[in-house]
Structure 1
Amino acid sequence: MADAQSPGLPTDVVLLLDFVNTLDVEKLVDAVPTSDALATWSRARGLLSPGETFSPEAFKAAIEAREALRAVLLSHTGEPLPPAELRTLDRVAALSPLTLGFSPDSVRLRPAGTGGWKVLGGLFAAIVSTQQDGHWPRMKVCAAGACQEAFFDTSKNRSGRWCSMAVCGNRTKLQRFRASPSKR
């Protein structure tokens, strides 16, 4: 499995994995606990210009979108997807305007908003790009409940469920074995 720092992943895949992983669920550490921290994170990725900020509404929407996106990526491992998470993404996407950008050989969605809404538009444009490129179903969240790290499934048959077989996969299988009534 590949994480956001793995070489060779498309830029939009890295951006989305990185965004979801701004919250380390296992350690309960949020890399973007404030609108200023999220603005800094966004500037480092070229999504926000110097001087632009997140309004309180855009910051709240970004955190809601991050967690809804986590649920969608978890559903890529076969877990059920609560419909409320899709409604959240629909609502936030409606507030994050996009436009078309043309080049000689392609057409891309690009953000049309300002501040935090521009960042969210960029994230939604990245989602569409990964879907069009066929990478979207391979973007997942670790099914180990305590972990929930976003990763890119590099398995041939797209069946990966854990960010790391050596850590989360083995831990989960060992827990199942210990809970099994047939163990000796």
Structure 2
Amino acid sequence: MSAHEPAPDAAPGALRRVEELINTFSVETGAESLTDPAALAAWLTERHLLPETTGVGPEDLTRARTLREGLRAMLTSNNPAPDAAAAPTAPAALTDLAVLARELPLVLDPSASPPTLVPHTPGTPDAALAQLLADVAASVADGTWSRMKACRMCEWAYYDHSRNRSRAWCSMALCGNRAKAQAFRNRTR
């Protein structure tokens, strides 16, 4: 289990699912919540993204993890490290996400108010993943995506509720203190 707990200030609305997906794996500890297809099916079902009776296979698990790591890589650009050379980059994860996104078609539902993107074929694992991409697209459109960030220390996803959008760590008590201690050690060397 990760040292991180669900944030009391989690992302709003459907964006919370994106945050929760990214946090199914802790880069810091290596803890994986999506351990097998059954765990993925349970995760998707709990979030009302997939009917309970839908089968989930190993290839769906691989695709979900690809989506997760691609989204995590996207978040690093919302919270760049002060030293751009030290910023974590994951071009392979972004490339993999781009390939996957082309395989998860979304269509416009003009009958929705407002019109919205929806999965082309509902009720499948791919539709559940496509819905997460639609959540990202809606977040970009409404301006909340820039508040989704990956912690500069541990890459945990969090939503920046700060007024000036300057929060840099998932938690001041965890990573903020570590970063400040590391900066202090670097200054005193």
On the 8 A contact 2:67/2:100 being kept in 1, the answer is yes
Distance 1:80 1:118, change over 3 A: same
CA distance in 1, matches of 2:9, 2:161: 12
Instruction: After the TM superposition, list the runs of 4 or more consecutive aligned residues in structure 1 that deviate by more than 6 angstroms.
Output: none
Please name the residue that 1:77 is paired with.
Answer: 79
Please name the residue that 1:105 is paired with.
Answer: 113
On the 8 A contact 1:4/1:15 being kept in 2, the answer is no
Alignment of 1:1-184 (within 5 A): 5-6=7-8, 9-78=11-80, 79=87, 81-103=89-111, 105-113=113-121, 114-144=123-153, 147-180=154-187, 183=188
Percent identity reads 37
Amino acid at match of 2:147: R
Amino acid at match of 1:98: L
CA RMSD of aligned residues (A): 2.1
Amino acid at match of 2:138: S
SS in 1 for 2:110: strand
Unaligned 5+ segments in structure 1 are: none
CA distance in 2, matches of 1:70, 1:40: 21
Amino acid at match of 1:107: P
SS in 2 for 1:110: strand
Amino acid at match of 2:130: G
The structural deviation recorded for 1:69 is 1.0
Q: Larger relative CO (CA 8 A, sep 6+): 1 or 2? A: 1
Per-residue CA deviation, residues 149-184 of structure 1 (Å, 9 max, x unaligned), is 11001122222110112221111111111122xx28
Amino acid at match of 1:23: F
CA distance in 2, matches of 1:111, 1:7: 28
The structural deviation recorded for 1:64 is 1.3
What is the TM-score with the length of structure 2 in the denominator? 0.85
Unaligned 5+ segments in structure 2 are: 81-86
The structural deviation recorded for 1:9 is 4.2
CA distance in 2, matches of 1:58, 1:38: 8
Question: Which is worse superposed, 155-164 or 135-144?
Answer: 155-164
